[in-house]
Every structure is written in structure tokens, then in C-alpha cells.
Amino acid sequence: MTTHSNDNPLLSTYQERAAEARHTTSVDQSGRKVPINLRQSGPTPVEMLISTRVRKSPYWHLSVESGCWRATVYNRIYHPRGYVRPEEGGAMVEYNALINDVTMWNVAVERQIQVKGPDAEAFVNYVITRDATKIKPMRGKYVILCNEDGGILNDPVLLRVAEDEFWFSLSDSDLEMWLRGVNLGMGYNVSIAEIDVAPVQIQGPKSEALMTDLFGPAVKELPYYGLMEGQVEGCDVIVSQTGFTGEKGYEIYLKDATLHAETLWYAVLAAGEKHNLRVIAPAHHRRIAAGILSWGQDIDQEVIPFQCNLAYQVPRNKDADYVGKQALEHARAQIEAGDPPFELVMVGLTFGGAPVTDYANDFWLLTETPDSDAIGYVTSPWYSPELETNIALAFVPWESRDLGTRLTVHLPPEYATADGTTAVGAEIVDVPFRPSVNPNARERARSKGIDFVD
């Protein structure tokens, strides 16, 4: 039998780590069935196991060849999250390539779930909150799917590639099983399955020039969320004018991707050489500035659209029934009566400290004053070179949501001020943080006067 002494330095280290990893309880998460572990534990002090439970996409080896040095897991697929190493400038070098030139991203993690058949439109209309009947063939939309409580299950780009065929280009949750389960009870005449289609994103101000070299001048006429068929070196693709940045950009959806990944990848690299193309990781620094949400980081199945600037996704005039409609309309009525059915709401923040130039590995706590209890938390922080300040998406109490409200962000030590302060001032500001070249759906809705609960 092994005994441990309080003088054991190894045990002391483990105890410190355990204490840091305990749940923070002062943030009111009573509205959630499973409170988020806000952790505040710093880097995960274990080796992460690599196994066959996680898939390698058709582009994985090509990302490694292009310099990928770290990855995360997204939709049970290895997801590149860094090509430029910290000692060479890290993620901000990748950001500069996106803002000034053109970039390619391996986003095969956006698994494609096909819904096809005579009832495809009716089925899709039942599972999304927006009106699928208004989406014409060869057009796409950013959409959300909610559970019966109104919680957001996924926020994919939906591509209508034919009258009777839709592709859900997924964010980070497994939607196929849920779609199959819904239809088991509803009996729509459709097939539902993942297909061998893997996208890459081409993003940045030179993206149109690069895509014109690949597909000809027709690309220039492609509207935002427009689709077109094309070929790259004889390989069939669907092209969309979409992306995760707010910059001008496209996605190339490669069919039979397991067979043709190398052909597409090398063709894009060759065409991009004269445009200073760089392979980079998905640019979370830019999507935060545009107010684009990341499922699993900013939202999940216990967050409803009215909490996170997605109210425009819940139209008042959709007559058809859909999953979650009753719960969402009830929530809207509560909000309009001044009694929201949730404690926390998403806001934008600017805040001090050293520039945040890498992914946060925890939710950073928010307090009213440096010494008070936590009342909220940051989900997605980064530094904005254009605004010359740190920016973030965050959840705060409903009553603290007003623009101009001052709060305190508690930073990890690596982002402390020059004098070592980690509790820094923050201010609630409007989202998006700066105008986008390609305004996302929420930005366009706001420009039309559609506000929080409209």
C-alpha cells in the first residue's frame, strides 16, 4: 500500500492542477442542464491519445506536407490549427496572409450530409428555422437547426445543389444521426447520408483572382451564397461564395474527395503561386471580428438563438412547423415581455492586457470589479490589429448587456499587462467589431433594421 505525504512535491503539483480544474460556481448557469466547466486550468497537462476513433481527412497528409504542426479534433476528424510556428510569428502571420493576399484552408471537417429525394425540401424545411422553400437550386444559406427546446444543434451552411438535393456543411456536432432519428418518426421520402465530398476554403482579397484562374470569369458573377459547378484538373466540384472570415472568399467542394484530394490541392497551390497563396488554419481571429460564431465554443445545444445574436434566424413569418418552433416563439414572447428565459446573453467586448495572439484554452472569467465574484465568461478572444485592441465574444447577465457597460476580464498570466496585472478592464461594444468585405447574414439583417428579437 502506497502512502502519500503532504511534503510530496509531485502530489502538491497534482493537487494544484486539480484545484485549478474545478468548476467555477459563481457564474449563474442554473438555466443549463449541464453547466459548462469554465475550468481556468491553463494548458491540459496530459498527452492526448491519437487513435483510429478520429478520422484523417483526404487532405490531412497534404496539410502535414504544408507545415501543419498542431491540430484539434472537429467532427471526429483531425483539424489543422497552425502552420506558422510561434517563433516565426505564429497565427498573426497567417492572419496577415488572409487580410492581404489569399489563403487555402483544409476544412474537410465540414462533413457533408446529403438529404435527397422527392420530399427533400419539405424535410429540410422541418428541421431548419429559416424557410427552405425560399432557397433556390444552386444557392446556399447559413442556417441553424434547433432541438425541441430551441437549443442550437448545429449552424451549418446549407447548399441546395438541385431541386431534390441539399447538403448540410456541418459545424462541430454530429447531425446525421439526429436527422435520421427525426425522419424515422416523420417518414419523409428522402435518403440521408454523409457523402464523399470535402471542401477547402479560399479566402482573402486575392481569392477572386485565384478562383478566376481556376474556373474562368463566371466566378466573378457568383453572388454571395451562390453556387456553381466546375472542374479542377478533370475533378468535379461545387464552388460557393462563402467562408468563415468576413473577407471575400470561396469554398471548393470536391466530389469523390478520397480519390482526388491531391489533384485538387496541388492544382490550387500551383494556381495560387502568383497570388502569394499561403496554406493556413481557419482564421478565428478574423471570424471573431465579423461576429461569426463557432459551435461548441460560443454556442451549443443549450443556447437558444435569442441569446447569441441569431434572432434573425427565427423568422416571425414562417408558417410551416419546424423542430423547436413552439419553444422559440414562447421564448420570443418572454423576451418582449421583459422576462427572458435565460440568465446569460452574448455580447462583444474590447479589453486590455497584452495582445491575444493565439487560441484560448479556457473560458476567461468576467467580473463587475477586479475583486468581485464571476458573473460571466469569455468564449472567443483575439487581438484585432485594425482596432489595436483585444476583442472577444462573451456571455454576461441579461441586465449587464448594455453597450458601454464596464467589466473586468481575468486573463491567464501570458496576457498580463506590463506590470503583471491579469484583471483588466473591458467594455461591451457592438458586434461585428469592424465592417466585413463580405457581410455575414447577421450583418446584412442588421443593415435592414432587423434587431434582437425581430
Tell me whether strands 157-162 and 165-169 are parallel, antiparallel or unpaired: antiparallel
Task: Give the C-alpha separation, 349 to 356, whole Å.
Answer: 13
Task: Give the C-alpha separation, 249 to 257, whole Å.
Answer: 21
Q: What is the pLDDT along the chain (454 residues), one digit of tens a residue?
A: 444 445 555 555 556 656 666 667 789 998 899 999 887 677 677 788 888 999 999 999 999 999 999 999 999 999 999 999 999 999 999 999 999 999 999 999 999 999 999 999 999 999 999 999 999 999 999 999 999 999 999 999 999 999 999 999 999 999 999 999 999 999 999 999 999 999 999 999 999 999 999 999 999 999 999 999 999 999 999 999 999 998 999 999 999 999 999 999 999 999 999 999 999 999 999 999 999 999 999 999 999 999 999 999 999 999 999 999 999 999 999 999 999 999 999 999 999 999 999 999 899 999 999 999 999 999 999 999 999 999 999 999 999 999 999 999 999 999 999 999 999 999 999 999 987 676 666 566 666 655 543 3
307 DSSP assignment: G
> Measured in whole angstroms, how far is the alpha carbon of residue 38 from the centre of its chain?
19
Per CATH, which fold does 291-447 belong to?
A: Gyrase A; domain 2 (3.30.1360)
Closest by CA to 233, choosing from 215, 212, 210, is 215
Which residue bears the cell 441569431? 310
Closest by CA to 284, choosing from 294, 274, 275, is 294
Q: Which three cell numbers stand for residue 391?
A: 476583442
What are phi and psi for residue 160, nearest 5 degrees? -100, 100
Is 273 exposed, middle or buried, given 0-12, 13-18 or 19+ CB atoms closer than 10 A? exposed
What integer pLDDT is reported at residue 206 of this predicted model? 98
The 10s digit of each residue's pLDDT in 114-135 is 999 999 999 999 999 999 999 9
Task: Give the C-alpha separation, 279 to 84, whole Å.
Answer: 10
User: In the chain, count of helices (H) and strands (E)?
Assistant: 10, 21
What integer pLDDT is reported at residue 453 of this predicted model? 37
Convert 371-413 into a string of H (helix), E (strand) and C (coil): CCCEEEEEEEEEEECCCCEEEEEEEEEHHHCCCCCEEEEECCH
Task: Give the C-alpha separation, 283 to 95, whole Å.
Answer: 7
Query: Can you name the residues that pair with 229 across neighbouring β-strands?
Result: 238
Query: Can you name the residues that pair with 140 across neighbouring β-strands?
Result: 159
Query: Which residues are within 8 A (CB) of 11 and not within 5 positions of it... i.e. 6 or more apart?
Result: 4, 5
Task: Give the C-alpha separation, 387 to 319, whole Å.
Answer: 42
Q: Which three cell numbers stand for residue 216?
A: 474562368
Which residue bears the cell 466546375? 230
**CATH top class, domain 112-194:** alpha beta
Query: Can you name the residues that pair with 380 across neighbouring β-strands?
Result: 393
Coil, strand, or helix at residue 121? helix
Note whether 158 and 141 are within 8 A (CB): yes
Question: CA of 156: how far to CAs of 12, 113, 170, 212, 418, in Å?
Answer: 45, 10, 5, 26, 41
What are phi and psi for residue 400, nearest 5 degrees? -110, 15
- Position 139: which residue type? R
Closest by CA to 259, choosing from 426, 66, 58, is 58
Which CATH number fits the domain 81-105+197-287, given the four candidates 1.10.150.20, 3.30.1370.60, 3.30.1360.120, 3.40.50.300? 3.30.1360.120
The 10s digit of each residue's pLDDT in 291-341 is 999 999 999 999 999 999 999 999 999 999 999 999 999 999 999 999 999
- Position 73: which residue type? V
C-beta neighbour count of 47 within 10 angstroms: 6
Coil, strand, or helix at residue 25? coil
Note whether 346 and 394 are within 8 A (CB): yes
C-beta neighbour count of 249 within 10 angstroms: 26
Q: Which part of the chain is CATH 3.30.70.1400?
A: 112-194
CA atoms within 13 A on the CB side of 419: 4
Q: Which part of the chain is CATH 3.30.1360.120?
A: 81-105+197-287, 291-447
What integer pLDDT is reported at residue 397 of this predicted model? 98
Query: Which residues are within 8 A (CB) of 59 and not within 5 positions of it... i.e. 6 or more apart?
Result: 106, 108, 198, 200, 257, 261, 265
What integer pLDDT is reported at residue 370 of this predicted model? 96
Task: Give the C-alpha separation, 49 to 85, whole Å.
Answer: 22
- Position 419: which residue type? D
